[in-house]
Amino acid sequence: MSSEKLSNLAETLIGSEIVKLGAEIRDKIRQGNKIYNYTIGDFDSAIFPIPPELEDAIVASYRDHHTTYPPAEGLAELRTAVAIFLEEREGISFKADEILIAAGGRPLLYAAYRAIVDKGDKVIYPVPSWNNNHYVHFTEGDHVVLQCKQENNFMPTAAEIAPYLKGTTLLALCSPLNPTGTTFSKESLESICDMVLAENNARGEGEKKLYVLYDQIYWTLTYGKVQHYNPVSLRPAMKEFTIFIDGISKAFASTGVRVGWAMGPSFLLNKMKAINSHVGAWAPMAEQNAVAKYLGEGKAIDGWFISFKNELEERLNSIYEGFQQLKASGFAVDAVIPQAAIYLTIKIDLAGKTTEEGKLLVSQKEVTEYLLNEAALAIVPFSAFGASADSNWYRLSVGTCKKEEISEMLEKLKTALEKLI
Where do the domains of the chain lie? 8-48+302-418, 52-301
Alpha helices by DSSP H, listed for 203-297, are 231-234, 266-279, 285-294
- 132-139 and 105-116 helices cross at what angle (nearest 10)? 40
Containing 371, the helix (H) or strand (E) segment is helix 364-374
Q: What whole-number distance in Å separates Cα of residue 339 and Cα of residue 154?
A: 12
CATH number for 52-301: choose from 3.40.640.10, 3.10.20.310, 3.90.1300.10, 3.30.1340.30. Answer: 3.40.640.10
Beta sheet of 393-397, edge-to-edge order? 333-335, 343-348, 393-397, 380-381
Q: What whole-number distance in Å separates Cα of residue 366 and Cα of residue 264?
A: 44
Domain 8-48+302-418 has CATH 3.90.1150.10: yes
Q: What whole-number distance in Å separates Cα of residue 105 and Cα of residue 214?
A: 11
Q: What whole-number distance in Å separates Cα of residue 407 and Cα of residue 413?
A: 10
- What stretches of 242-391 adopt beta strand conformation (E)? 242-247, 260-263, 333-335, 343-348, 377-378, 380-381
Q: What whole-number distance in Å separates Cα of residue 201 and Cα of residue 46?
A: 51
pLDDT per residue, tens digit, the chain (421 aa), is 556 889 999 888 887 777 777 778 888 888 988 999 999 999 999 999 999 999 999 999 999 999 999 999 999 999 999 999 999 999 999 999 999 999 999 999 999 999 999 999 999 999 999 999 999 999 999 999 999 999 999 999 999 999 999 999 999 999 999 999 999 999 999 999 999 999 999 999 889 999 999 999 999 999 999 999 999 999 999 999 999 999 999 999 999 999 999 999 999 999 999 999 999 999 999 999 999 999 999 999 999 999 999 999 999 999 999 999 999 999 999 999 999 999 999 999 999 999 999 999 999 999 999 999 999 999 999 999 999 999 999 999 999 999 999 999 999 999 999 999 8
Q: What whole-number distance in Å separates Cα of residue 128 and Cα of residue 391?
A: 10
